[in-house]
């Protein structure tokens, strides 16, 4: 059974487990990934993995909480910086994409939500809806201040978030490519929205 001791050491090791699990889930999906795959990637025994999670469902759930935390951190940081809606949009994209392809990655793609237990599923869906609303608020702010042209906030939000969230499916950790993605994606994804 997974324990929850306090301390940075445990948190650092569990984050390492979640990054490895995200890599496996992104490549093989929920049904194609076993706890043995994650343990093998980390050079751990299967029982050692149970120190961090009780089962595979909890592992994917914690991966999704981590993804939500990373996205929320990028969003809050961009909003705190202020500026126009377009400035905040570009800052958010820069931070979120940078986290995904940098040292914080890989981040799990939220494609296996139906595999979660109902309470976990509802929590992740709620976090996702809150994040989407914050992103749409940035777009609306940009429309109001004249920095963004956007005919449909919801459609635009879905398109941009879909593009970002799919990066872990095709990005496999090449540092040179990661630097290009972090540099170019924010511009690519925001260019068509600039007034």
Report yes or no: 120 and 110 within 8 Å, Cβ to Cβ.
no
CA distance 159 to 135: 12
Number of separate domains in the chain: 1
Q: Is residue 50 part of a domain?
A: no
Average pLDDT value for the chain:
92
Torsional sign, CA 104, 106, 110, 113: negative
The values of phi and psi at residue 148, to 5°, are -125, 140
Q: Is residue 19 part of a domain?
A: no
The pLDDT value recorded for residue 51 is: 87
The pLDDT value recorded for residue 1 is: 39
Among residues 100, 127, 115, which one has the least CA distance to residue 182?
A: 100
The pLDDT value recorded for residue 3 is: 45
Q: Is residue 141 part of a domain?
A: yes
pLDDT digits (tens, 9 = 90+) for 19-64: 999 999 999 988 899 999 999 999 998 888 888 899 999 999 999 9
In the chain, what percentage of residues exceed pLDDT 70?
Answer: 96
> Degrees (nearest 5) of the Cα angle 17, 74, 103?
40
Global confidence as pTM: 0.90
The mean per-residue pLDDT over the stretch 86-102 comes to 97
Q: Is residue 65 part of a domain?
A: yes
Question: What is the extent of the structural domain holding 73?
Answer: 58-191
Asked if residue 121 has pLDDT above 60, the reply is yes
The pLDDT value recorded for residue 144 is: 98
The mean per-residue pLDDT over the stretch 85-92 comes to 98
Sorted by sequence, the CB contacts under 8 Å of residue 166 that are 6+ apart come out as 109
92 pLDDT tier (thresholds 50, 70, 90)? very high
Asked if residue 2 has pLDDT above 90, the reply is no
Q: Is residue 113 part of a domain?
A: yes
Among residues 110, 109, 81, which one has the least CA distance to residue 94?
A: 81
Q: Is residue 171 part of a domain?
A: yes
The mean per-residue pLDDT over the stretch 112-135 comes to 95
CATH number at residue 142: 1.10.357.10
The pLDDT value recorded for residue 188 is: 95
The mean per-residue pLDDT over the stretch 104-124 comes to 93
Asked if residue 5 has pLDDT above 80, the reply is no
Q: Is residue 131 part of a domain?
A: yes
Q: Is residue 64 part of a domain?
A: yes
């Amino acid at each position: 059974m997974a324990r929850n001791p306090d301390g940075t050491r445990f948190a650092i090791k569990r984050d390492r487990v979640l990054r490895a699990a995200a890599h496996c889930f992104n490549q093989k999906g929920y049904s194609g990934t076993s706890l043995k795959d994650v343990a093998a990637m980390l050079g751990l025994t299967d029982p050692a993995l149970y120190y961090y999670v009780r089962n595979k469902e909890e592992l994917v759930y914690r991966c999704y909480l981590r993804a939500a935390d990373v996205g929320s951190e990028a969003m809050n940081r961009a909003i705190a910086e202020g500026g126009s809606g377009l400035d905040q949009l570009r800052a958010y994209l820069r931070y979120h994409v940078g986290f995904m392809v940098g040292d914080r990655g890989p981040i799990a793609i939220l494609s296996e939500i139906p595999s979660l237990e109902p309470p976990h599923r509802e929590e992740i869906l709620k976090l996702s809806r809150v994040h989407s609303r914050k992103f749409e608020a940035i777009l609306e702010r940009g429309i109001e201040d004249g920095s963004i042209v956007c005919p449909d906030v919801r459609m635009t939000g879905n398109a941009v978030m879909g593009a970002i969230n799919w990066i872990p499916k095709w990005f496999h950790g090449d540092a040179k490519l990661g630097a290009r993605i972090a540099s170019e994606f924010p511009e690519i994804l925001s260019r068509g929205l600039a007034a």
